[in-house]
Amino acid sequence: MSTDSQVRLQELIGEDYALQRVIGHGGMSTVWLATDTRTNEEVAVKVLRPEFADNAEFLSRFRNEAQASEGIDSPNVVRTFDYRELPDPSGNTFCFIAMEYVRGETLAERLLQETSINESETLDILEQAANGLAIIHSMGMVHRDMKPGNLLIAEDGTVKIADFGIAKAAEAVPLTRTGMVVGTAQYVSPEQAQGKQVTAATDVYSLGVVGYEMLAGRRPFAGDSSVSVAIAHINQQPRPLPERISQPTRDLIGVSLRKDPERRYQDGKALAEAIAAVRKGNRPLLPEPRTNNANIKTQIQRPPTGMQGTAVMSQRPIQGPQVPPQHPTNMQQRQLPQRHMPPGGSDQNGQRMPVGAGPNAPRRAGQRPAYDQSSNSNNSIYALLAVLVLAIGAVGIWLLLSLMNGGSNPTTTPSSTQTSRSSSSSSEDVSEEVPTQQLPNTQPDQSTPIVPQQSQQPIQTQPQITPTNANTFPFPTAIPFLPTQTPTTVEVPPTSVAPSPPSTGEPEESEQ
């Protein structure tokens, strides 16, 4: 900027801030390093460009940035000191924001130099950013534009969230038209990309993308245009992280990048707690699955006293099968038992995060990480039905074979052959012969050798049943010969049986 322009700008700003030099440019503003003449401290003065001053939407965004960041007191959020709107000689509105000056660099500049950042430092940056989001969310605000360019890293390593240009109250009317996508495509959440309602979990997703980029040295989704990248955020799963990344950190990023905002960490506070657990070598805490049961009331955690904002959903760690807590008002985080996983599914600490079939069940070896896991309940039902069908079929086949082979039981009387031959001799229907249940001839004809009942061996072979006419089918005659009829024949004493009638002249069957 020329000296004349700086002089004119200085005249508009006034004597409270002495401009020094330009330190940055944004999409709709220019940032100056200045000195607060009242405190003699360095500040950053963000000035809305004149070409946007007469645009109501850009002016509203700029004003919103100042109002949204005003009153936020956190070491991880850039402080706002002053905001002014002044008329300029041309009749347009001149406005600027005086904010905290952070001597250091943005995370975007850091990634241009190093491509990727080691896991330990990545977790440190993420935890500080999550702590900043926790304060923002506790005041009912959503940042909506978490990206490396809006994360400032001070010389002492402190991370600060900046640029509240499109931040908004969680329940406020959007600054843009209904359905319009707001945010940076590479870091936009699925609900943002679809123009849906944003929540604190939206910022969690975007920060998860930042964490992924720091660990992998690339963004989780790539495309030829912003539209294709936004669509990938909606429909695709991120590419796997490098194998050098530990499993707890993989799971932490995986939960943050879930498509369904209700299955992510619900706000910055819950995310910060999960990151702290991973940094201590533990498994990350998981967001508690929500229920659709209208009769169950959701626990609400109100913002700190003195702060206004919407309530934030509370989080609890998943700890295996649920047991009613002895002290529900003082819930403690419990570390899940560690398990050594086989190669390809283990981390440096041999830990895995509990994710799985039940809402609180530990994840077993070989299961996918914490990225979106579609419910397998339908597959389980289909598998169970298939097993039941096979079991019923097996039982049916067994019964059918038992019925068809019923005549091979030597203790079942009368035999099917005798029934058939008697039917042929008397010219009576088979169905009339079956109910008579004649007992074996215990006093046979003199020409028939006597075989003691107790020494009789099972007959190994039986003559094939030959129907006497075309309408006779032997299958029904096997029904009386089920094993349930056997005791009736075997246990009748020989003395109680009347002499058998004279031989009909047809040779009686004997053992072969």
- Alpha carbon 496 to its chain's center: 75
Answer for the pair 183, 220: CB distance below 8 angstroms, yes or no: no
Annotated binding site for ATP: 46
- Tokens 């402080």 belong to 79
Q: Please state whether beta strands 41-48 and 29-36 pair in parallel, antiparallel, or not at all (unpaired).
A: antiparallel
Give backbone dihedrals phi and psi of 96, rounded to 5 degrees, phi first.
-150, 160
Query: Is 145 part of the annotated catalytic residue set?
Result: yes
For residue 44, what is the enclosing H or E element?
strand 41-48
Give backbone dihedrals phi and psi of 263, rounded to 5 degrees, phi first.
-105, 5
- Alpha carbon 280 to its chain's center: 25
Annotated binding site: 46
Q: Which of 145, 163, 251, 347 is catalytic?
A: 145
Angstrom CA distances, 185 to 20, 192, 225, stand at: 34, 9, 9
- CA-to-CA distance for 263 and 265, rounded, in angstroms? 7
What does the angle CA 152 – CA 155 – CA 158 come to, to the nearest 5 degrees? 55
- CA-to-CA distance for 118 and 245, rounded, in angstroms? 9
- CA-to-CA distance for 311 and 266, rounded, in angstroms? 11
Answer for the pair 353, 247: CB distance below 8 angstroms, yes or no: yes
Q: Which two tokens stand for residue 509?
A: 């069957």
Answer for the pair 459, 410: CB distance below 8 angstroms, yes or no: yes
Give backbone dihedrals phi and psi of 326, rounded to 5 degrees, phi first.
-75, -30
Count CB neighbours of 474 within 10 A. Answer: 17
- CA-to-CA distance for 349 and 281, rounded, in angstroms? 7
Angstrom CA distances, 323 to 96, 224, 370, stand at: 55, 50, 23
Write the CB contacts of 254 (distance below 8 Å, at least 6 apart in sequence): 369, 370, 371
For residue 312, what is the enclosing H or E element?
strand 312-313
Catalytic residue numbers, as ranges? 145
